[in-house]
Chain A
Amino acid sequence: MATIELERLVKRYGPATVVHGIDLSIQDGEFVVLVGPSGCGKSTTLRMIAGLEEISDGTVRIDGRVVNDLQPKDRNIAMVFQNYAIYPHVTVADNIAFGLYRSKLSQSEKRRRVEQVAETLGLTHLLERRPAALSGGQRQRVAIGRAMVRDPAAFLFDEPLSNLDAQLRTQMRIEIKRLHHRLATTSVFVTHDQVEAMTMADRIVVMREGRILQVGTPLELYENPVDVFTASFIGSPTMNLLPGSLKDGAATLSLGGTVRAPFASATSSEILVGARPHDLVPSEAGSEGLTVSGTVAVVETLGSETLVHIESAGQTIIGSAPGRQIPRIGEQLTLHAPMEKLYYFDKATEKALAAR
């Protein structure tokens, strides 16, 4: 158990800088998810914490101790890799035991620890098997077992679920979450999947092009995204962003209609009005807020709700209708989102304009 602190952390590859001096402080026992599109520097950051990547500048502290020049093995961390990285030539038991390679425990004590971990992860009946005879989910569990057995200061996960199929991914997500709840070990989890980030994190760190855009709890990020990127990255389906121009405290949308703009001032008069699909529901025009009308182009029936894509003035807008209400394609539909559910961004800087 430990805190992890990153201070002005920089990674350069030759002339290219891939991580631009990031600061982050992770509390003891916290589950932090680094999320962002590929190439945003999230894996590089994780690898610098692990010691697998040299630190170009800045410091990494684990439990208050600067670990910049320590070998991975001396940092007391454990890591789970995307492609599991369990050794194919030894049994499951030996794979897990590799986690105790440097431990000075007796053989019988090691064996006991391995069995205990296997029990926790439901691997007991597989201990004598080779990885080739395991399914993807079982392999990933072995990798987690190898990480767990050492009782490390922190777990580092590098996109551990992206090789699994959708169903297994959901299941492993829950297992990891449950495990974290039980062990309460500080964890840093890297993913490009915002659903994983939302469902697993205590706090999410949104990264882009080697910089941290926003840090916050899943709900904070969902409710108060600081910019267009976070707003459209967090939440699925992605947020509708409608361009408009500001005049006399109201925004005139390019696809028609006006919306009251409840913020003091903006640097430019061009703004984006955001509305999440879940807040944009079929309704009659009239009440205050955002109202858009258009032709139904695509209908996605999910059962619990129906996603409706409507086309209006050349732009596609996604709204949602109740599960049993399925609009016909080609039909005219009016969608409405209440005032307090709208987001406003400066079109030029892409920054959020005001906390609602």
Chain B
Amino acid sequence: MKAAASIPVLAMPKVRPGRIIAWTLLFIGGIIMVTPLLFMLSTSLKDASQVYDLRVIPEAPTLDNYIEILGDGRFTRWLINSTIVAVIVTLSNVFFDSLVGYTLAKFRFRGRYIVFIAILSTLMIPTEMLVLPWYLMASQFGWLDSYWGIMFPGMMTAFGTFLMKQFFEGVPDDFLEAARIDGLNEFTIWWKIAMPLVTPALSALAIFTFLGNWTAFFWPLIVTTSAELYTLPVGLSSFAVEQSIQWEKIMTGASIATLPTLIIFLFLQRYIVRGVMLAGLKG
């Protein structure tokens, strides 16, 4: 390398009008998204008398709400419920969606296309329409008001299956054939060879599924009746019905509930972005 041949020149990037408009729009968008979160946090630090005082920074910030909420056995129970439901449903999705997606992507069998279309078409039915048959099913099988009742509709999703199928299609057949010659059975080939090759997709699927179930409200609300089976969102909403509306409690609970989501985003955003990008690229 030639010394002093190239002294980097720090040029001021030209600010074009298009950029200013883009930044302004993004800034406004950012404000709109952050404001409710800020208010949630701020309200959680106020006592009941200050709730309708709309200052963002509380006059007399207090952690009483947190102490009270975390000391309340019901809340911890709901937190545990949410964790159990979200974790089990996520594991189930990662397992079954990729198993079915792999089968659809890598095996030729009669009716394969029909199965795929059938799975895809369920994506077009809105949840609100499915709730009634789900409820009837749950009631027939005696699953109402149970963990299984909350979880069963989401144990496998059409979206996850579709996503994983698209990704497995990108895995070269040579890998699987090499493994077949090495003597691995079909299940082991999927588990030991194909799965590690689609980890970006798996992590994206896991993250989406976890977040979706962590924040799920509608179905858990319908299927549960006893308070000890509520998930966090359902439990928090009960603060609003039972004893007038305790905004500071709801906001405290919501702040705590947001924590895992935030942590997941902070640590795994690389995978989320990559997963979303890949999901779009591989068609």
A residues touching B (Cβ–Cβ < 8 Å)? 50-52, 71-73, 77-79, 81-83, 85-89, 98-99, 101-102, 143, 146
Contact = CB atoms under 8 A, between A and B. Distances in A.
Contacts of A83: 172, 174
Interface stretch (B37-45, B67-75, B180-188): B180-188
Given A88-B197, A89-B196, A89-B197, A98 B174 contact: no
A101 B182 contact: yes
A77 B183 CA distance: 10
Contact of B178 (A71, A85, A88, A102): A85
Contacts of B174: 81-83, 85
A213 B177 CA distance: 29
Interface string B148-190: 0000000000000000000000001011011111111000000
17 contacts: A52-B177, A72-B180, A73-B181, A73-B184, A77-B181, A78-B181, A79-B177, A81-B174, A82-B174, A83-B172, A85-B177, A88-B197, A89-B197, A98-B179, A98-B182, A102-B182, A146-B182
Contacts of A73: 180-184
A101 B175 contact: no
- Interchain residue pairs A-B with the least CB separation, the first 8: A102-B183, A73-B183, A85-B174, A89-B196, A85-B178, A81-B174, A72-B181, A98-B182
A99 B183 CA distance: 8
A188 to B, nearest CB: 14
Given A87-B193, A89-B196, A89-B197, A81 B182 contact: no
A87 B196 CA distance: 9
A71 B184 contact: no
Contacts of A86: 178
Nearest to B193: A87
Interface in B26-41: none
A52 B180 CA distance: 8
Given A73-B182, A102-B183, 20 more contacts: A50-B181, A72-B177, A72-B180, A72-B181, A73-B181, A73-B183, A77-B181, A79-B177, A79-B178, A81-B178, A82-B174, A83-B172, A85-B172, A85-B175, A98-B184, A99-B182, A101-B182, A143-B178, A146-B178, A146-B182
Contacts of A71: 180
B183 A101 contact: yes
A144 to B, nearest CB: 12
A239 B257 CA distance: 78
A86 B177 CA distance: 11
A328 B171 CA distance: 54
A293 to B, nearest CB: 52
A17 to B, nearest CB: 19
A143 B180 CA distance: 14
A149 B121 CA distance: 48
Contacts of B179: 87, 98
Contacts of A88: 197
Contacts of A101: 182-184
